Structure 1
Amino acid sequence: MKLVRVIEEFRKEDDCLVKEYLLNISSEKILATLDDLVLNDDDYTDEIYDCYFLSEDQLKKISPFLTEEINPDFDTYIYQLSCYEDNK
């Protein structure tokens, strides 16, 4: 079992998931890159499991770790850092 981290793009008008962008980054590197990310009380500093909404600045900082290019549109979409288990 492997943890997968993604940026999820949700349409603001209906909260529908439009696309996932795969991240190639460890939780430690996420915390170092997003030094202003405040973890939830039940999340761990060595692993990030909860979902976190990203600001434009945060998305810009983490974009170099995406496996494909993203062209963010914060007027139309909301972006969220997510983690899930890949059972492949």
Structure 2
Amino acid sequence: MLLGTVIGYATATIKHPSMKGWKLSIVQPINSERQPEADPVIAADSLGASPGQTVILNSDGKAARDLIGHDKSPVRYFVIALADE
């Protein structure tokens, strides 16, 4: 699991069929001091996080495919919780 800050949304006119209907958030991973760490990632977001909100990400590819409901989905990251401040 990773802590991150939503910095925006991704849109695509062409994407894998399994991603149709999913909100894709751009999330900047952060450390325990809430400083940026690593490169931003794209995460499937069923919770509706807003830019600036802190979220908890899961990076388990199998769990992501189970959530999406497609065995061949390229999704790796997904939002599992909105973090309290």
**Alignment TM class, shorter chain as reference:** under 0.3
TM-score if structure 2 supplies the norm length? 0.27
Which fold has the larger relative contact order, with Cα–Cα distance below 8 Å and residues 6 or more apart in sequence?
Answer: 1
Larger helix proportion, structure 1 or 2? 1
Higher strand share: 2
